[in-house]
Amino acid sequence: MQKPDSTWFVFLILTFAVVGMTGMFATFAAPIALQRAVLRDEALDAARAALAAPNPAAALEALRPRLDDSAAALLPIGGNMEARIAAERIAMHARMMIDHEATALRLRWLMAVVTIGSAAFGAAILASAGGRPK
């Protein structure tokens, strides 16, 4: 059996580079839950400030797009709004934590699958190159 030349080893290195690129792209997805939580915290702070507006119901309604699924917990206006906002902030943080954990798990699986696939592909190429006469 012939030893593969350096070209095949470079190819194997490139198959592992795919794993590195996948990891790099994963770093863009990893902070999404945190970014969403920060933006929602800002929207809930704006909702608290809207309670002091001349027309708090209209001010909160204007915040609906930024509040997203938190809007259902705050609208319609009534009762102890400060307590409702505080409760929604706690619930939102719990939802975002679940979202973060799910994203992290998917990224770990992605890295594992791509690593195994790249290693198998590289090994198959090296194996096929090793058996060919020059």
Is residue 46 a part of any domain in this protein? yes
Which residue's structure tokens are 């409760």?
Answer: 87
Query: HSE on the CB side for 106, CA within 13 Å?
Result: 10
* pLDDT over threshold 90, residue 8: no
The residues, ordered by sequence, that sit 6+ positions from 60 with a Cβ below 8 Å of its Cβ are 47, 50, 51, 67, 74, 75, 77
Cα dist. 48→5, 13, 42, 68 in Å? 68, 55, 10, 16
**Domain ranges, residue 79:** 6-130
Of the candidates 108, 20, 63, 100, the one whose C-alpha atom is nearest the C-alpha of residue 73 is 63
Is residue 43 a part of any domain in this protein? yes
Is residue 79 a part of any domain in this protein? yes
Prediction pTM value = 0.71
Least confident of 4-13, 16-25, 58-67, 105-114: 4-13
Tens digit of pLDDT for each residue in 48-103? Answer: 999 999 999 999 999 999 999 999 999 888 899 999 999 999 999 999 999 999 98
Is residue 117 a part of any domain in this protein? yes
Is residue 98 a part of any domain in this protein? yes
d(CA 127, CA 54): 75
In the chain, the number of structural domains is 1
Is residue 28 a part of any domain in this protein? yes
Tens digit of pLDDT for each residue in 108-120? Answer: 898 888 888 878 8
Higher-scoring residue by pLDDT: 81, 5 = 81
Is residue 1 a part of any domain in this protein? no
